[in-house]
Structures are given as structure tokens and as C-alpha cells.
């Protein structure tokens, strides 16, 4: 598996080696020792899957207590996936990295605890799956605005396609007003 660093050292992209022939392909998407060697020494307790159509933007989500690390990938379609450092004491606080994840490139991205996470659907439809290091806890969930100028995410919005957000995401707080990690 290829390990690809990002501009934020704790956020890591993984690219599985794909073995295929005329019948299809096989690839390993999780191997504890490989991820541990890359710095992801976590146990996962929950797997999630979502389906969204083009123009849907989800995020930026995080849990202020029971923070979740997420290992995310796309099994159908294409998304632009974003991680934002929400740790006030970090040298990369408020910085973001984005990566195109697709069923074609098979990449995974590790979003550590203490980061906000979101994605935007580029293809007509996308199936998104992710492993979590802690359980979902609605009472601890927080949302930062996807368009916060202090973060400055450059979302690759599809021309002519309206961006769709949930009421929860539309009600996200700016970074300056959000509950953050020390």
C-alpha cells in the first residue's frame, strides 16, 4: 500500500495496490500493521456508509467529546474530501487539506481525532464508507461552516449544480465561535 503524506502530517492518504485481470480486481483496504507503521495506531468501533448525489456537501463535522478518527473511502463515484485541524495548540490549527477520493483511484484518507471533516460530491452519485475510532454521539456533535473565510476551503463546486446542505450544516458556526480542541 502506498502511503502519501499531506500538508498536515497527521492526515494521511493511502493508495491500495490493486490486483486485477479480466475477471475483476482485489485490493486490501485495511491492514493493521501497515497503518500502524504509517502512524495510524487506532482501533475502529463503528463503520458507516452514506449515499449522496452530485452537489451535496456534508460537513464540517466533528465531536467535541468522544472525538472520532475516520478512515474514509469512496466505493462508487467521486468526492472531494476535506480535513480541517481544530486543535488550538497545533501548528496547523485552522489549516485544511483536500483530496479527491473515487471508486477509480481507490484512495483512502485518514482524518484523525481533533479534525473537522466534510466532503462534496463531484459525480452524479457517490457511495462513501468510513471506519470510526469512537461511537457517534449526537450530543457532542458540532458543525463548522463549510464556507468559513478563516479556513478558506477551495471547494471544487460543479458548475451549474446547486450546492445542497442539510439544515444542520447550514447552521454551522464559524471557526472563531466554535467549540474547539485544546
Q: Give the tens place of pLDDT for each residue, 24-82.
A: 999 999 999 999 999 999 999 999 999 999 999 999 999 999 999 999 999 999 999 99
pTM: 0.95
10 Å CB burial of residue 109 (0-12, 13-18, 19+) is buried
Catalytic residue check, 62: no
Work out the average pLDDT over 140-162.
Answer: 97
Work out the average pLDDT over 141-161.
Answer: 97
pLDDT of the residue at 180: 96
Q: Return the CATH number at 50.
A: 2.60.120.10
Residue 101 forms part of a structural domain = yes
Residue 31 forms part of a structural domain = no
Residue 121 forms part of a structural domain = yes
pLDDT of the residue at 30: 92
pLDDT in tens, 6-23: 999 999 999 999 999 999
What is the domain extent for residue 110? 2-15+43-177
Residues 61, 106, 120, 146: which is the catalytic one?
61
Residue 36 forms part of a structural domain = no
The mean predicted confidence, pLDDT, of the chain is 97
Catalytic residue check, 25: no
Work out the average pLDDT over 125-138.
Answer: 97
Residues 62, 106, 117, 130: which is the catalytic one?
130
Residue 37 forms part of a structural domain = no
**pLDDT classification of 151: cutoffs 50, 70, 90:** very high
Residue 23 forms part of a structural domain = no
pLDDT of the residue at 79: 98
Distance CA 155, CA 175 (A): 17
* Residue corresponding to grid cell 495548540: 89
pLDDT in tens, 85-123: 999 999 999 999 999 999 999 999 999 999 999 999 999
10 Å CB burial of residue 139 (0-12, 13-18, 19+) is exposed
pLDDT of the residue at 42: 94
pLDDT of the residue at 113: 98
Count: domains in the chain? 1
Return the ∠ at Cα 62 (arms to 88 and 162), rounded to 5°.
Answer: 115
* Residue corresponding to grid cell 485552522: 94
pLDDT of the residue at 86: 98
Residue 119 forms part of a structural domain = yes
Amino acid at each position: 500500500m502506498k502511503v502519501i503524506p499531506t500538508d498536515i502530517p497527521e492526515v494521511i492518504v493511502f493508495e491500495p495496490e490493486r490486483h486485477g485481470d479480466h475477471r475483476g480486481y482485489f485490493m486490501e483496504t485495511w491492514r493493521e500493521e501497515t497503518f500502524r507503521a504509517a502512524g495510524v495506531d487506532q482501533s475502529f468501533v463503528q463503520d458507516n456508509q452514506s449515499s449522496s448525489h452530485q452537489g451535496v456537501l456534508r460537513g464540517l463535522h466533528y465531536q467535541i467529546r468522544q472525538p472520532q478518527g475516520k478512515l474514509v473511502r469512496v466505493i462508487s463515484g467521486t468526492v472531494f474530501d476535506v480535513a480541517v485541524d481544530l486543535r488550538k495548540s497545533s501548528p496547523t490549527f485552522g489549516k485544511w487539506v483536500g483530496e479527491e477520493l473515487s471508486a477509480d483511484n481507490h484512495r483512502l484518507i485518514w482524518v484523525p481525532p481533533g479534525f473537522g471533516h466534510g466532503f462534496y460530491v463531484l459525480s452524479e452519485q457517490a457511495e462513501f464508507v468510513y471506519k470510526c475510532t469512537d461511537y457517534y454521539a449526537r450530543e457532542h456533535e458540532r458543525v463548522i461552516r463549510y464556507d468559513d473565510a478563516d479556513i478558506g476551503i477551495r471547494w471544487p463546486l460543479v458548475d451549474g449544480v446547486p450546492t445542497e446542505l442539510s439544515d444542520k450544516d447550514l447552521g454551522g458556526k464559524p471557526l472563531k465561535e466554535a467549540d474547539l480542541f485544546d
